[in-house]
Structure 1
Amino acid sequence: MPATTGIRPFLSPGTSAACGNTNLENAMPTKPKAKKPSHEAFVVNGEGESAFWTKIGAAWPHDDGKGFNVELIALPTSGRLVIRERKATSD
């Protein structure tokens, strides 16, 4: 058996040594999110009537109902993160 020289074998395009194949058609399918999120995310500064609410994201429930996927457009450095059910809108 020849000694190893530290040379890696050539990998053809679309393959990887870690998983053997990185072609998109073999990737795990992702389930699309619901069209509208069920909850909205806010950062709240202050208390009571003088509180200032800023909408910073939304949340979609998991299929099993035991959690949420949350997307934020900002990360608050102060205040509270509040997640509330969306208000019904007249579409």
Structure 2
Amino acid sequence: MTETNQPLLFAYAVEDAPRGQKSYWTRIGRLFSHKDGKGYDLVLNALPINGRIVIRHEEREADTPQK
């Protein structure tokens, strides 16, 4: 991973909300591709206590589906 390497995907902690409400999504990390294309580095800034990590492509705000 280099300073110019852009994240390929992003890691989120997701906490379920009460029925009928949106879940709470918090970005907690980034996934970077190795230069040789044979692996990845997952860099986390936090660990969710519920153990659930969701890895997704970044979405622009206008493209974000209702969660």
TM-score w.r.t. the length of structure 1 is 0.51
Residue of structure 2 equivalent to 1:41:
11
1:68-87 CA-to-partner distances (Å, cap 9, x unmatched) read 20111111111520011123
Aligned residue runs from structure 1 range 60-79, under 5 A: 60-78=32-50
1:20-43 residue CA offsets vs partner (Å, 9 max, x unmatched):
xxxxxxxxxxx6251x21111001
Aligned length: 58
Is contact 1:40–1:85 with CA below 8 Å preserved after alignment?
yes
Computed over aligned residues only, the root mean square deviation of the Cα atoms, in angstroms, reads 2.6
Runs of 4+ in structure 1 over 4 Å off = none
The residue aligned with 2:26 is 54
Q: Which runs of 5+ in 2 are unaligned?
A: 61-67
Unaligned runs of at least 5 residues, structure 1: 1-30
Higher strand share: 2
Q: Which has the larger radius of gyration?
A: 1
* TM-score, reference length from structure 2: 0.65
> Is the aligned partner of 1:85 residue 2:57?
yes
Q: Matched residues, percent identical?
A: 39
The whole-number CA distance in structure 1 between the counterparts of 2:59 and 2:46 is: 21
SS of residue in 1 equivalent to 2:10: strand
